[in-house]
Structures are given as C-alpha cells and as structure tokens.
Chain A
Amino acid sequence: MTPEQRRKNKRTGLIFLVIVAVLFVWVVVRKIMDTPGAL
C-alpha cells in the first residue's frame, strides 16, 4: 500500500468515524430533550 493510499484510506475512515460519533450523540441528546426529567 502506498503512503498516498494510506492517507486516502485514513481520510475516508475518519469521515465514517465522525458519522458514528455524531449519530450516537444525536440519539442521546434527542432522547434527553424528548423525555422531561430524564436527567
């Protein structure tokens, strides 16, 4: 694997990692907002 290919892979992987993190936070925050007195 060339260094350029490695960089490209890391970039693409990072995008999906961010999507995962955003989804997780979004679900929790939405449920906190939807459930009065949840916290």
Chain B
Amino acid sequence: MSSVTVDQIPGKGEDISHDHHDDHAHGMPHGWRRWLFATNHKDIGTMYLIFAFIMFLEGGILALLLRSELFIPGIQFFQPELFNQFTTMHGLIMIFGAIMPAFVGFANWMIPLQIGASDMAFARMNNFSFWLMPVAAILLTASFFVPGGATAAGWTLYAPLTMQMGPGMDLAIFAIHLMGAASIMGAINIIVTILNMRAPGMTLMKMPLFCWTWLITAYLLIAVMPVLAAAITMILTDRHFGTAFFNAAAGGDPVLYQHIFWFFGHPEVYIMILPAFGIISAIVPAFARKQLFGYSSMVYATASIAILSFIVWAHHMFTTGMPVTAQLYFMYATMLISIPTGVKVFNWVATMWKGSMTFETPMLFAVGFIFVFTLGGFTGLILSVAPIDIQVHDTYYVVAHFHYVLVAGSLFALFAGAYYWIPKWTGKMYDERLGKWHFWMTMISFNVTFFPMHFMGLAGMPRRYADYASQFTDFHQIATIGAFWFGLSQLIFMWAVLKAYAGKGEQAAAKPWEAAEGLEWTVPSPAPFHTFETPPVVR
C-alpha cells in the first residue's frame, strides 16, 4: 500500500478525534434512542454486525437441521418439502442476511475512519437502510409459518418453482426487495462518502485497500441490485397479475429468468468476496511487518474482477442447452477471472515473503483464508470447464466449491477483520487464547464438513435432496459431524467478542498492532463517538 502518514493534524497535542470530552459536548444520545435513531456510523456499524451475527446463527441452525436429516439415508425428521424450505432459507439468510450485512457493518465502522471522514455522507439514510434489514429478516423468518410454509424454490428462485409456491414466496420477494433497497442505499452512501469526503491529501491511490474494494463492490451493487429487483418484480406480476414473463405454461420463458438472475447472481459472488480481499490486504502487511506488495496491481486486479464478473453469468447455465460457441465463450471468459485473482494471491504471498511474521488470530484467519479460499478458487476453475460442469452440475461438488469460497473466503475474512479491529471497536484486546482455539476449531471442522462433499459430488450425489443412496452414507456422516463441530466452534467466537465488549481484557492501545497502517490507528481505542470532525491532513 502507498504509505499514508498523517503529516499534520489540527489540534495535535490535545486529541485529533476530540476524544470523549466531546461525546458529551455533542449530546451523544443514550438509551434506546441512541440505537433506534442512530446516525453515527460506528453505532450503525455495530448494529449491522450484531444483526449479521444473529442471522448467521439462524442460517447456521437451518444448516444443522439439514445436516441432521442427512446423517443417515431415508427420511428421518423432515419431509422433502420442508427440507427444501430449509435449504432455500439457509441460502437466502446467509447471503442477504449474514454475509452482505456483515461487510456493510465493517464498511460503516471502518471507511470513515480510514479516509478521515467524520461520518458517512448520508447519516439518516444510513439509519433507514439498516432498519429495513430486521423488517426483511422478520418477513423471511415469518414465511415458515404461513400456509404452505417458506419458499422452497432454492436461493436462485427459479421459475417455474416460484409459480408453484404459496404466500411464503411473496413474503420472500418482499423481503428481498427490502434488503435490495437497503443494499442500494448502502452502496450509494459508500460511494458518495469515498468520492466526496476523503481527508485532504487522501488521494484515491493512497486509500487503504479495504476502501478500494468496497468502492468497487458498491459500484457492482448499484449495477446489479436493480436487475434482481426487476427479476423478482416480474416473478410477482407472473404470480398475481397475469403476466407471462417466466411462466412457460402461459408462453413465458423460464430460461430468460435464469439469464436475468445470473446477471445479478455472478457479480453478487464478487460482492461477497471483494471486501474480504480488502480485509486480508490490511491484515497480511500488518503481521508480516512489510508494505503490501503491489498495491496498485491489487487495485487494478479488483477492478478487473468486477468488470469480468458481468460477462460470465451463463457459466451457471451450461446445462440449459446453449450453443457450443456460447459455452466456449463463457468458459474462456470465466477462466480469465483466475488471472486477476491469481495476482491477488501472489501479492499476499509476496507480502509475507521474508516478512517478520507473527501469527496472532487475525493473521491465522488471513493465512487460512489464502490457503482455503485458493482451493475454492481452483474448484471454480474446474467448474468453468463446460464438459466437466455438465457432469457435476447441481451436485455436491458445486456445494463444496461455493462453501470453500463463501465460508473459507468471506466468513474467514470477516473473522480476521473482527479480531483485527475489535481493539479499535471495544478498547479491549480480545482473548488471544480463545481466538486461536476459534481459528483451529473452525479451520479443521470446516474442512471436515466440506472436503468430503467434493467426493460425493464427483460420485453423483445431487444437491437439495433430503434422501440419498446408501453409498454416500459415510461421507454424509463425516460432513454432519463436521457441521456440528463447526457450529459449536462459533460459540468460542461469541465468547471472545462478548468478553471484549464486556470490558474484560487488556486495555488496547490506539495502535495495538505494531506494523498496522492507516488513519484508524491514529484515534484512541475505543474509537470515540465523534472522530475527524476536523479532517486530518494526509501526506
């Protein structure tokens, strides 16, 4: 990363962040009003993170219900209809309720601190977009209790399944509309904050990579969220207003839906991983005690991945019967993405090369991310090969692939970022012993859960099935044991975070990590309610 040094800070010697004294001077709200009417980026960030963790637990419980059913062949606890509802809701909750809001929480907390801004550009819109999320979550969860239950169409909401669902489908559509609107508002807020509110001297190419990756992610959100909104609006009008966009029985085209969905769906994958790249790019240099190798190439690689993500969508649809020329195009275009991704992995490894590395919990998760996410990247490359994809389409191989990318990728980066910035958020160091236990339990149990799924997929185990042939029993049992182990391991994380928030632990210095860089480390820990009201000057 380009070196960012705070050359001159107005009022230096007192406190650049106006410290706690001003918390009172500015009438920091107290009680429930502080949270309900929150306009402070740190409070909203905290609410997003808490909300995302609750949704992570809800989605996780659904996953454990699925794994319980799959422990032995035959139907044990849930009929296939309910099993499919769990599958669908697990996906929707984890993507729209857990991973995306968690990254928005990080963005709210860290972007203003990293660019030297006093808050987000639209503080009240920030509050509104957060409070849409719990409403959407309640709608999604409540859909289990309406006649016919929740939608069981899969997170992709393919037609004609969406035509066949009960009112739970309408609740899901409304919930996704709300979450989409929240994401769009969040994206506009982030873009305007970064473009208009950077501290003097903080040029774009001096910004921390987390801000860069979020800026590019926000552009992706602006481009694809309206497409998803349009697609689900058309599902709604097909269901209730007599249109026939996707309803084949009425002359519509279900494959058309798949095209529109994946035009959203593939960039969505990068929406969930680019901010993770930003977090890893902050942590690796801090614990390797070296500057990030190839800062500008990291920026260009992020932008390249984002651009390529728009032209590869139909690799999710190789089995729909597209012409060979189209298959070849989408295959080669998809393979191209491995180049900028490879640049990133190379740069992280080169940053570590000959560094004075230490392995505190954030670095453990970062290194774990690089190792395991890269495995997920490789299986993605294998899946991009059309003839192979046609063989393993809709099998557990695909399930293994995207969990390696989304759990070992996005989730590991979120854990890494949480441990890295918890001292700044709480003013206390987390318990390092708990952090290490959390990492190793998570890392091992993750692989126990998902590695056998590659073998099952290659052997032909289809995804989204409540029952299976007995030859898959051993692998399913290993995966189920791993899943429960993984779920229990997350209680260690909860414990470590609650301990820090409860004020138990060593007092954190303003910069608890020796070689960390960035403006966020120039304010005290915990970060005061108001920061950078007078912008710092960055040289």
Contacts and interface: CB of A to CB of B under 8 A. Distances in A.
B311 interface: no
B222 A20 contact: yes
Nearest to B187: A16
Contact of A28 (B222, B234, B256): B234
A34 B256 contact: yes
A35 B256 contact: yes
Interface string A1-22: 1000100110011001101110
B195 A27 contact: no
Contacts of B260: 27, 31
A34 B12 CA distance: 63
Contacts of A27: 226-227, 230-231, 260
Contact of A20 (B122, B196, B226, B245): B226
Interface string B184-211: 1001110110011100000000000000
A28 to B, nearest CB: 5
Contact of A1 (B118, B225, B229, B256): B118
Contacts of A24: 226-227, 229-230
Q: How large is the interface on A (under 10, 10 to 19, 20 to 34, 35 or more residues)?
A: 20 to 34
Contacts of A21: 226
A5 B256 contact: no
B222 A38 contact: no
B441 interface: no
Interface string B206-227: 0000000000000000110111
Given A24-B226, A38-B252, A31 B188 contact: no
Contacts of B323: none
B229 to A, nearest CB: 6
A36 B227 CA distance: 20
Nearest to A24: B226
A39 B238 CA distance: 9
Nearest to B251: A37
B256 A23 contact: no
A31 B159 CA distance: 15
Contacts of A31: 230, 234, 245, 256, 260
A32 to B, nearest CB: 8
Contacts of B229: 24
Contact of A39 (B192, B243, B253): B243
Nearest to B191: A16
Contacts of A35: 244-245, 251-253, 256
Contact of B243 (A13, A16, A17, A38): A38
A31 B245 CA distance: 7
Contacts of B253: 35
Interface in B256-288: 256, 260
B209 to A, nearest CB: 22
Contacts of B226: 20-21, 23-24, 27
Interface in B84-118: 118
Contacts of A36: 251
B245 A12 contact: no
Nearest to A27: B230
Nearest to A23: B226
B188 A28 contact: no
B245 A9 contact: no
B178 interface: no
A12 B230 contact: no
Interface in B147-185: 184
A3 to B, nearest CB: 14
A17 B188 contact: yes
A17 B185 CA distance: 9
Nearest to B246: A35
A36 B253 CA distance: 10
A5 B197 contact: yes
A39 B505 CA distance: 63
A20 B228 CA distance: 11
Identify the 8 closest CB pairs spanning chains A and B, nearest first.
A27-B230, A23-B226, A24-B226, A9-B121, A16-B188, A12-B192, A37-B251, A20-B226
Interface of B: 118-119, 121-122, 184, 187-189, 191-192, 195-197, 222-223, 225-227, 229-231, 233-234, 243-245, 250-253, 256, 260
7 contacts: A13-B189, A16-B187, A24-B229, A27-B231, A31-B260, A38-B245, A39-B243
